């Protein structure tokens, strides 16, 4: 039970960080796709590890998919950033 509460705390902390970053008006050197991709990658990693800990294969697979989609979105954002900087 303590483990589940710790995992839930981590997820809430990551969610609140994402909300704070989204509300922040400070110009970031990363574009939106890079930020969202990293957030999704992190959430997927947390979900994947939680699935492993709880021995829930469905959650583990879902987390792995979410993590890889986040990596792809981050890569797309990196490409957009590179193109923008080369102009």
Q: Which two tokens stand for residue 4?
A: 């589940």
- pLDDT tens digits, one per residue of 58-78: 999 999 999 999 999 999 999
Structure tokens belonging to residue 24: 């922040």
22-45 per-position pLDDT tens digit? 555 555 588 999 999 999 999 999
Flag whether the pTM goes above 0.85.
Answer: no
Considering only residues 20 and 55, tell me which one the structure prediction assigns the higher pLDDT. Answer: 55
pLDDT 10s digits, 3-21: 676 776 777 676 666 555 5
Q: Rounded to whole angstroms, how far apart are CA atoms 27 and 46?
A: 27
CA 78 – CA 38 distance, rounded (Å): 11
Answer yes or no: is pLDDT of 57 > 70. Answer: yes
């Amino acid at each position: 039970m303590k483990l589940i509460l710790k995992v839930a705390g981590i997820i809430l902390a990551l969610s609140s960080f994402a909300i704070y970053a989204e509300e922040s008006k400070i110009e970031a050197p990363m574009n939106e796709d890079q930020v969202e991709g990293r957030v999704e990658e992190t959430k997927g990693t947390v979900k994947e590890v939680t699935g492993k800990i709880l021995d829930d294969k469905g959650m583990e697979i879902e987390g792995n998919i979410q993590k890889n989609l986040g990596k792809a979105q981050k890569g797309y954002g990196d490409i957009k950033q590179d193109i923008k900087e080369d102009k």
